[in-house]
Amino acid sequence: MIETLRWTAAGVEMIDQTRLPHVEEFVLCADYKAVADAIQTMIIRGAPAIGVAAAMGVALGAQQASDENFDAEFETICQTLAATRPTAVNLFWGIERMRRLRQSLAGEPLSVVREKLMAEAQLVHDEDIAINKRIGAFGAPLVPDGKTVLTHCNAGALATAGYGTALGVIRAAVEAGKKIDVFADETRPFLQGSRLTVWELQKDGIDTTLITDNMAGHFLRSGRIGCVVVGADRIAANGDVANKIGTYGVAVLAKENGVPFYVAAPISTLDLSIPGGEQIPIEERSASEVTAMFGHKVAPDGTKVKNPAFDVTPNRYVAGIITERGVATAPFEENLRKLVEGK
């Protein structure tokens, strides 16, 4: 299985996702600032993966924080990591989990606190893989046999600690013996689909075809696509879903053509404090991602640009939200809450 990130004696190592698919290189983050930088520059990306990276970053920072000023430094570490990217709620979830642990250990010797923070970050990592396997098990029966699954962006092993959410559903369907193939949207401007999804599915020997984003409607209309499965960066209480820019268009086209549109995400991606999608903060990234493609200019100098990294798909386009606790369908407000409360 692809290792997205791991502990080493020298710090946190992560596969550099800005260099894939042609360069497979691990970079070492020797302190929490390097982890924050890796999240911001998208060396590591994908909602669950940045949640895990943030938890590891907090643990790493705590190892290096001074005894004299531990709690003030701990807070700076949490705030620095939280300021990296605004949309994926898993980032804040990972940091909050570490903060709560620290608070529960008030009065313990700092050696114990540091040790427990390291163990907790490893647990966050390992749990994420187990969660993805459960998402896969709930999602696989929804995938029609003998058809094509369309996916957008990369919600795979690389976007998580391993196995993936949307790609976890695809992997589980293949493991269950279903004869399916995958269409991967290339996902402009950062090309997570062509660079990452195609790369990791090829490694698993899963039949994958790359299409540009503007081809999705054509194939959804053709009758060949059995379902769409994507990941999510944040899901509001009413089931509105923030995911990679372009997801909304795919969802509308899927509904228009009678193709079920599924979202695969862990419970940690649910943000029940936010009533609807309009309250989800959408990251705006640099114009250069749009005016140039990996060093090559593709627009005149001085071009005005918009580059929202995510969009919101209203819940009416969503056939089901596949979590590690089961599949929520409409009415989402009620059914997501039941899943979170474990009912």
Give the nearest distance from C-beta 147 to ligand MRU in angstroms: 21
Q: What is the rounded CA–CA span in Å between residue 82 and residue 32?
A: 12
Binders of ligand MRU in range 238-277 (CB under 6 A)? 243-244
- Contacting ligand MRU within 70-99 (CB under 6 A): 88
For residue 331, whether the previous peptide bond is cis, meaning omega lies within 30 degrees of 0, is yes
Which of 4, 80, 148, 165 contacts ligand MRU by CB under 6 A?
165
Note whether 45 binds ligand MRU by CB under 6 A.
yes
Cβ–Cβ under 8 Å, residues 30 and 14: no
Contacting residue, 48, 136, 193, 226, with ligand MRU by CB under 6 A: 48
Catalytic residue among 233, 240, 271, 311: 233
Count of residues of this chain found to bind ligand MRU when the rule CB under 6 A is applied: 17
For every residue of 247-316, DSSP letters joined together read HHHHHHHHHHTT--EEEE--GGGEETTS-SGGGS---B--THHHHEETTEE-S-TT-----BSEEEE-GG
**Largest Cα–Cα distance of the chain, in whole Å?**
65
Q: Which is nearer to ligand MRU, 74 or 193 (CB)?
A: 193
**Torsional sign, CA 264, 266, 272, 277:** negative
Smallest distance, Å, CB 132 to ligand MRU? 8
Spatial contact of 44 and 53, defined as CB atoms under 8 Å apart = yes
Minimal CB distance residue for ligand MRU: 231
In the residue annotation, 271 being an active-site residue is answered as no
Site string for ligand MRU, 303-322 (x = CB under 6 A): ------x-------------
Nearer to ligand MRU, 220 or 309 (CB): 309
Alpha-carbon gap, residue 145 to 190, rounded angstroms: 31
Block residue for tokens 């590591």? 44
Nearest-approach distance from CB 29 to ligand MRU, in angstroms:
17
Q: Which of 20, 98, 174, 232 binds ligand MRU (CB under 6 A)?
A: 232
Pick from 98, 50, 57, 41: nearest CA to 233: 50
CA 274 centroid distance within chain = 19
CA-atom Rg of the chain in angstroms: 20
Look-up of token digits 């939280």: 82
- Residue 85 C-beta: closest distance to ligand MRU, Å: 7
Contact call for residue 231 and ligand MRU (CB under 6 A): yes
User: Which residue number, 62 or 159, has a Cβ lying nearer to ligand MRU?
Assistant: 159
155 versus 198: smaller Cβ distance to ligand MRU: 155
- Exactly one of 120, 128, 233, 240 binds ligand MRU (CB under 6 A); that residue is 233
Q: Which range of residues in 53-61, 139-147, 155-163, 206-214 is near ligand MRU by CB under 6 A? A: 155-163
The residue among 46 and 94 lying less far from ligand MRU, judged by its C-beta, is 46
Task: Tell me the C-alpha to C-alpha distance, in Å, between residue 165 and each of 232, 290, 298, 332.
Answer: 9, 27, 33, 19
Is residue 258 packed enough to be buried (19+ CB in 10 Å), middle (13-18) or exposed (0-12)? Answer: exposed
Among 60, 131, 155, 225, binds ligand MRU (CB under 6 A): 155
Residue with tokens 């620290």: 102
For residue 113, state whether it binds ligand MRU (rule: CB under 6 A): no
Percentages helix, strand, coil for the chain, rounded to the nearest 5? 45, 20, 35
Interface with ligand MRU, residue 139, by CB under 6 A: no
CB of 114 to ligand MRU, least distance (A): 29
Q: Which of 192, 197, 313, 315 binds ligand MRU (CB under 6 A)?
A: 192
Residues found near ligand MRU in the complex (CB under 6 A): 45-48, 88, 153, 155, 159-160, 165, 192, 231-233, 243-244, 309
Catalytic site positions: 233
